[in-house]
């Protein structure tokens, strides 16, 4: 049986090049799934979603696009260059408000929600030899905060502001994707990385089996100071090799976002098939274990797409 990585690569190759061969010759629907870097959680979940939608939505052809994640995905959706994408809740809020500092030159008024899904955990991981154990220890050290103006980097900015620190307090700030950040730590060229992702993200798992690590704690007070959509959370002991204890941190909900030009029927099927095939998403990445139907409409900073709203009304979540 093929291992998960091989299966994901094979599936993505299929959706990127051929679509699904058993679909009608005249496909009436094209669905571009906007994800993130291939070493994150969005990408394998996006591959799984593309398979689900390709098989479950009549006449659909699907494609998976690796991106810089939240901010890029939202801008692409506004431009009609994607039909569904993953994003962090705080990025969605900033996009709806037209927050230029966050990377949105104007209000992205075409954005519509399909569902709130799993929480992203802010995971700050340092090499053990760096001596970094808490946020104060980051001063004078080197840190990768994610791609510029990505959802991860916006999370990093928010945390630094809440604790009264600036990037200038670091010895060096890198703006790198998860995989590249980890490689630098392995090579002793970087002290720490901040990654906003589901628990068990592949990049940190890879780091933890390669070098001894410290998972850096983020106190509950930071969540209280930031407020919604941030919340206090815990990275359970044993999530990564060498992590002996629970570590407090922050979490922020991820949202599946579409645009207002997507048909009501397609949006309905996007929501319906998502929750009818959670087992396939869990098989793609364990972060999907946290996707709950009862949480699907909670705390959304943008309107639901009418098609998705119809599904949640059927399920009794909306009156």
Structure tokens at 301: 């900073």
Residue 110: name the closest of 85, 134, 131 by CA: 85
Report residue 299's pLDDT band, with 50, 70 and 90 as the boundaries: confident
Q: Which CATH number fits domain 4-118+254-314: 2.20.25.90, 3.40.462.20, 3.40.190.10, 3.30.460.10?
A: 3.40.190.10
CA distance 282 to 288: 5
| 228-254 mean pLDDT | 94
| 93-109 mean pLDDT | 94
Residue 73: name the closest of 149, 144, 13 by CA: 149
Phi, psi of 213, rounded to the nearest 5 degrees? -130, 160
Show me where the domains of the chain are located: 4-118+254-314, 120-252
pLDDT at 149: 77
Query: Is residue 44 scored above 50 in pLDDT?
Result: yes
The 10s digit of each residue's pLDDT in 153-170 is: 999 999 999 999 999 999
Structure tokens at 131: 């001596």
Q: Which fold has domain 120-252?
A: D-Maltodextrin-Binding Protein; domain 2 (3.40.190)
pLDDT at 127: 98
pLDDT at 27: 46
Report residue 251's pLDDT band, with 50, 70 and 90 as the boundaries: very high
Query: Is residue 26 scored above 80 in pLDDT?
Result: no
Query: Is residue 15 scored above 60 in pLDDT?
Result: no
* Residue at token pair 């075409």: 110
Structure tokens at 212: 């001894």
> Fold identical between 4-118+254-314 and 120-252?
yes
CA distance 182 to 193: 7
pLDDT, mean over the chain? 91
């Amino acid at each position: 049986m093929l291992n998960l990585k091989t299966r994901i690569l094979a599936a993505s190759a299929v959706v990127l090049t051929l679509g699904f061969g058993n679909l009608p010759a005249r496909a009436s629907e094209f669905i571009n799934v906007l994800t993130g870097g291939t070493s994150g959680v969005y990408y394998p979940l996006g591959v799984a979603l593309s398979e689900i939608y390709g098989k479950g939505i009549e006449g659909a052809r699907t494609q998976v696009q690796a991106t810089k994640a939240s901010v890029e995905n939202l801008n692409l959706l506004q431009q009609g260059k994607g039909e569904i994408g993953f994003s962090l809740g705080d990025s969605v809020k900033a996009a709806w408000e037209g927050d230029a500092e966050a990377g949105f030159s104007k209000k992205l008024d075409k954005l519509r929600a399909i569902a709130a899904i799993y929480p992203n955990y802010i995971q700050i991981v340092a090499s053990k030899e760096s001596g970094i154990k808490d946020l104060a220890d980051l001063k004078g050290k080197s840190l990768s905060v994610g791609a510029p103006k990505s959802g991860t980097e916006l999370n990093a900015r928010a945390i630094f502001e809440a604790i009264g620190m600036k990037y200038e307090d670091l010895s060096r700030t890198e703006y790198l994707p998860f995989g590249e950040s980890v490689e630098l730590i392995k090579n002793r060229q970087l002290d720490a990385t901040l990654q906003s992702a589901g628990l068990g993200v592949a990049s940190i798992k890879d780091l933890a089996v390669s070098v001894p690590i410290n998972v850096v704690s983020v106190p509950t007070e930071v969540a209280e100071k930031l407020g919604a959509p941030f919340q206090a959370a815990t990275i359970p002991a044993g999530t990564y090799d060498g992590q002996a204890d629970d570590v407090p941190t922050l979490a922020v909900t991820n949202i599946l976002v579409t645009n207002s030009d997507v048909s009501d029927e397609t949006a309905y099927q996007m929501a319906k098939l998502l929750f009818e095939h959670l087992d396939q998403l869990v098989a793609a990445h364990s972060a999907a274990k946290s996707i709950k139907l009862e949480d699907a409409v909670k705390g959304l900073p943008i309107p639901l797409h009418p098609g998705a709203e119809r599904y949640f009304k059927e399920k009794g979540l909306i009156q």
